[in-house]
Amino acid sequence: MAGGGGGGDGEPEFQIAPMIDVLLVLLVFFVMITSAEVLKVDKNIVLPVSPNAKAREPEMAKHEMAVNVRFDAKSNKGILVVDDREYNNWPDVVPILQESHKRDDKLRIVVRGDAAVPAGEIQRIMNLIGEAGIADIAFASSNK
Amino acid sequence: MKRNRRHRRKANAEVNLGFQIAPMIDVVFVILLFFIVQASDIQVENAHVTKLPGTVELKEGIVTPDEIAVRIEDDGQVYLNDDPLDTPEAKLLPEFASNLNQLRESSDASKSEVLVTIYANDLARYERVVDVLDALSRAKISNVSFQAGSSE
């Protein structure tokens, strides 16, 4: 009972192997949570804060497609970015959405709009999503 | 002499090649500290899930819901059925949320559903729309639809 092994004389001894085990487990834990969450956030977009929004459903993750609406302060308009490509003519995105919807019936469009974007711009992209025949949408927000 | 030197060199090499636990722990601690600090600053992305109007399949015998119109003006003022509630600066919209909660409770009591339609002005900030969605989540109302233009 003398303090977890070590010398036979009853003196507790510092065990290096279990400490390394614990350290590595902690390290893996923190690496996992940082890489899982940080990658989802586009740094060009400041998401609106909404503490009561629901956490993203893990089972829906593979059915989600992000539509980013960045804010252009000069023109007070939104910049549409889908799959890292900017669209000047917004209706061009409709066939892409339709194509994705054909591939996946359960497709959910996650609208990631900047907090400063005018609501009319979000309405515009919602109309285009509706035109593509997709009903399931989600508005991304940040917890803080 | 030669044999002695060779032996000493061999002994030194054996000592240097040994696995050093202390520097490894140092490095692991530094990496761990880095990730702990980074983890505290993590932004988690959540979402308000909804359905677009006009595309949802209707089931037969559906109860006609009590419709509530929410208007958001350009300055951020929120109107609930034409009644202004809270100030444009109030992010949490406490009055609005408590009114919605009461409406939802009375609808629950009469076994009907609440449907909220949001009329956001074109120049209202999207952030304000999300504030309204947040207040709706707090009031446990999930039946939300959007409308372009004014409610009148």
pLDDT per position as a tens digit, B95-127: 999 999 998 888 888 888 888 989 999 899 999
Is residue A81 domain-shared with residue A111, that is, in the same domain? yes
Is residue B75 domain-shared with residue B125, that is, in the same domain? yes
- Nearest residue on chain A to B140, alpha-carbon basis: A52
Residue B49 covered by a domain:
no
- Nearest residue on chain A to B129, alpha-carbon basis: A119
Closest CA to B76 of B119, B121, B126, B128: B128
What φ, ψ does residue B141 adopt, rounded to 5°? Answer: -110, 120
Is residue A75 domain-shared with residue A12, that is, in the same domain? no
* Inter-chain CB proximity A30 and B45 less than 8 Å: no
Is residue B87 domain-shared with residue B125, that is, in the same domain? yes
Q: Which residues of B13-25 are buried (b: 16+ CB within 10 A; e: fewer)?
A: eeeeeeeeeeeee
* Inter-chain CB proximity A139 and B47 less than 8 Å: yes
Is residue A65 domain-shared with residue A32, that is, in the same domain? no
What φ, ψ does residue A23 adopt, rounded to 5°? Answer: -60, -45
> Considering the entire predicted model, what is its pTM?
0.73
- Rounded CA separation B69/B85 (Å): 13
- Rounded CA separation B78/B75 (Å): 9
> Is the confidence at residue B131, as pLDDT, over 90?
yes
Is residue A90 domain-shared with residue A21, that is, in the same domain? no
With cut-offs at 50, 70 and 90, classify the pLDDT of residue B15: low
End-to-end CA, chain B: 105
Is residue B36 domain-shared with residue B87, that is, in the same domain? no
- Residue in A30, A49, A139 nearest the CB of B35: A30
pLDDT at residue A1, rounded to an integer: 40
pLDDT per position as a tens digit, A59-116: 888 888 899 999 999 998 999 998 888 999 999 999 999 999 999 999 999 999 999 9
Is residue B17 domain-shared with residue B74, that is, in the same domain? no
**CATH number, position B110:** 3.30.420.270
Is residue B31 domain-shared with residue B79, that is, in the same domain? no
Contacts of A132 in chain B (CB under 8 A): none
Q: What is the mean pLDDT of residues B63-84?
A: 86
Residue B125 sits in which domain range? 66-147
Residue A98 covered by a domain:
yes
* Inter-chain CB proximity B32 and A133 less than 8 Å: no
Q: What is the mean pLDDT of residues B34-42?
A: 80
> Is the confidence at residue A50, as pLDDT, over 80?
yes
- Rounded CA separation B121/B125 (Å): 9
pLDDT at residue A37, rounded to an integer: 54
Could you tell me the CA-to-CA distances from B49 to A65, B28, B134 in Å, in that order?
13, 41, 11
Is residue A67 domain-shared with residue A113, that is, in the same domain? yes
Helix (H, G, I), strand (E, B) or coil at A51: coil
What is the total count of domains within chain A?
2
pLDDT at residue A99, rounded to an integer: 93
Could you tell me the CA-to-CA distances from B41 to A38, A127, A144, B47 in Å, in that order?
10, 35, 10, 19
- Residue in A116, A118, A140 nearest the CB of B47: A140
> Is the confidence at residue B56, as pLDDT, over 80?
no
Tokens representing B115 are: 């449907």
Is residue B132 domain-shared with residue B81, that is, in the same domain? yes
State whether the Cα torsion A126-A127-A129-A134 is positive or negative: positive
How far is residue B119 CA from its own chain's centroid? Answer: 22
Q: Which amino acid is at A24?
A: L
With cut-offs at 50, 70 and 90, classify the pLDDT of residue A4: very low
With a CB-CB cutoff of 8 Å, which residues 71-110 of chain A face chain B? 108, 110
Q: Of B18 and B45, which is predicted with more confidence?
A: B45
With cut-offs at 50, 70 and 90, classify the pLDDT of residue B152: very low
With cut-offs at 50, 70 and 90, classify the pLDDT of residue B129: very high
Closest CA to A116 of A76, A144, A67: A76
Tokens representing B49 are: 């899930």
Looking at residue B62, what DSSP letter applies?
P
Residue B75 covered by a domain:
yes
Q: Of A121 and A38, which is predicted with more confidence?
A: A121
Is residue A65 domain-shared with residue A25, that is, in the same domain? no
H/E run at residue A69:
strand A64-72
- Tell me what the pLDDT averaged over chain B comes to: 80
* Inter-chain CB proximity B52 and A122 less than 8 Å: no
Contacts of A130 in chain B (CB under 8 A): 52-55
- Rounded CA separation A50/B133 (Å): 8
* Inter-chain CB proximity B52 and A120 less than 8 Å: no
- Rounded CA separation A131/B54 (Å): 11
Residue B51 covered by a domain:
no
Residue A19 sits in which domain range? 1-39
> Is the confidence at residue A5, as pLDDT, over 90?
no
- Residue in A16, A115, A118 nearest the CB of B21: A16
Is residue B20 domain-shared with residue B92, that is, in the same domain? no
Does residue B146 belong to the interface with chain A, where contact is any CB pair within 8 Å?
A: yes
Looking at residue B125, what DSSP letter applies?
B
- Nearest residue on chain A to B38, alpha-carbon basis: A34
pLDDT at residue B127, rounded to an integer: 93
